[in-house]
Amino acid sequence: MKNIALVGAGYWGKNLARVLGEFGRLRVICDPDEAVAGPIAQKHGATLVDDLAPILKDDAVTAVVVSTPAISHFELASNALAAGKDVYVEKPLALDDRDARRLCTLANEHDRILMVGHLLQYHPAYLALLEIVDAGRLGRLQYIYSHRLNFGKIRTEENILWSFAPHDISMILGLANAMPSRVDATGHAYLHGENPDITTTHLEFSSGLKAHVFVSWLHPYKEQRLVVVGDSGMAVFDDTRPLAEKLVLYPHSVSWRGGQPEPNKADAEPIAIDDREPLRNEVEHFLDCIETRKTPRTDGEEGTRVLSVLNAAQQAVDARAPQIAIGGPDRALEHPGVMIHPSAEVDEGVSIGAGTRIWHHVHVLGNTRIGSDCVLGQGVMAGPNVRIGNNVKIQNNVAIYDGVTLEDGVFCGPSCVFTNVLTPRAEVERKDEFLPTRVGRSATIGANATIVCGNEIGHHAMVGAGAVVTHPVAPHALVVGNPARQVGWVSASGERLGEDLICPRTGDRYELDRDGQLRKASDR
């Protein structure tokens, strides 16, 4: 039964096409490059198209495999999930862990399978290594390091961290069965001055386990080695070695005599593994999941965890600031799963949801509640008594004052302003005159806009950059200017609507109700 569509038949997509074709499941390939994709489609008896839209409307296609540049993963995967398709996405799942969480939510809402292509999770040697660790043959894990080095394909659309490291981070998180409490990374760009060609990422776990990932595409020879060190033994997974030598157990130990450590070396034990292609294992697992509806080994949640580490590492590389904290050793207990930069201040009595990232010089004051998967950019101040929903993005230098409520999905552009009194004076105390301001779900406030207190911004509304809002803004309204005036309507996707009130991005139809308010045509 040919029921799978492959989006992208390039560098890695051609391998997915081969394996899907071998399983007899490849129905259609979507790729604009007919010269490359045409022969592949013909070889596997698949149809070639250059537009995803008809695939999403084809009931015969039940699953979509995405193998395109990483920047397009979120949009393609979200469109496929919304169309009711099961989805496999090559690594990384997205470029932002907030987008990855949105994909997980979308998959749950539509009861669809979402799987990430972390190939080495399906390598027979890694699976055998995981069994060794789980059985306790290495004892308590102390240190893991991974080298993924080569002088090979050098990319310009992504750096070495995002190209090579996801697989290794995925394996390390699987072995640790935990998220790191701290991430530190350095990188150097030698070819183009922007994208690092070499990065080293250090991970620290609350258990005491430490790990590092060294990746480079400027290395004289190929090296793909994962070393796991425990207090009762060591193991090496070297993917460049022959099958019989890919996984080797070293039952070394250390004993103490007279207060001095002495190494006890033991003979190496090669571990027998299956001679089976990892990609075939991975694709077969996806096919099994879409048939049985079981959760994939590398589901969206696993992909999101890997992205959280990647993003923390990227921020450390960009800022040249070591020890970017994910929760931090002291804050991890109070705010588990939250990344708080060491320069940020979070007062007592603050609640922060998992997946939220709080960056340089942010100050969160008491009795403030922040939801999950938010981003507070450099120099943000929030509180006291502020309520911020889930998936909210507040860019640099924004102050969220007492009485402001930001509902789920709100975007605040850099240096936008919220007031809390109508006629402030430095010499007149007016805290009892604070007026509440509510910003509705998924609304957007542009850079340098001013929201005068007491005015509600409706859901999905859009306030243009520099606008001054002096009156309530209707849901879906687009307002600009000083004072702000409505100049049109925007869809839930943020697209300006024409006279036909059809969203050019999603095709959703809108209509005006009898009160002149915009709503989806289906919301009756």
pLDDT in the model for residue 432: 72
Torsion angle of C-alpha atoms 456, 457, 460, 462, degrees rounded to 10: 170
Q: Report whether 415 contacts 448 (CB < 8 A).
A: yes
The count of other CB atoms within 10 Å of the CB of residue 1 is 8
Does residue 395 contact residue 445 with C-beta atoms inside 8 Å?
Answer: no
| Domains 122-273 and 338-520 equal at CATH topology level | no
Q: For residue 428, what is the DSSP state? A: B
CATH number of 338-520: 2.160.10.10
- Largest pairwise CA distance in the chain: 88
How confident is the model at residue 514, as a pLDDT? 84
- In whole angstroms, give the CA distance from residue 432 to residue 443: 28
What pLDDT is attached to residue 251? 85
- Please report, for the chain, how many H helices and E strands are present, in that order: 10, 40
Mean pLDDT of 327-354: 77
Query: 154 vs 271, which has greater pLDDT?
Result: 271
Tell me: the pLDDT tens digits for 7-44? Answer: 999 889 999 999 999 999 999 999 999 999 999 999 99
Please check the confidence at residue 524 and state whether its pLDDT lies above 50: no
The reported pLDDT for the residue numbered 332 is 47
Cis preceding linkage at 483, omega within 30: yes
The CATH topology of domain 4-120+279-292 is: Rossmann fold (3.40.50)
**Mean pLDDT, residues 338-344:** 87
pTM for this predicted structure: 0.63
CATH class of 122-273: alpha beta
- Distance from C-alpha of 439 to C-alpha of 433, rounded to nearest angstrom: 19
List the one residue out of 80, 113, 31 whose CA is nearest residue 303.
Answer: 113
| Domain ranges across the chain | 4-120+279-292, 122-273, 338-520
Collect all residues with Cβ–Cβ distance below 8 Å to 321 and sequence separation of at least 6. 315, 341, 360
Beta bridge partners of 406: 388, 439
Counting every residue written for the chain, the total comes to: 524
Q: What is the pLDDT of residue 331?
A: 52
Span 278-323, pLDDT tens digits: 999 999 999 999 999 999 999 999 999 999 999 889 888 887 544 4
Strands 510-512 and 518-520: antiparallel
The per-residue pLDDT for 157 is 61
Of 475, 485, 415, 495, the closest CA to residue 449 belongs to: 415
Three-state SS string over 116-160 comes to EECHHHHCHHHHHHHHHHHCCCCCCEEEEEEEEECCCCCCCCCCH
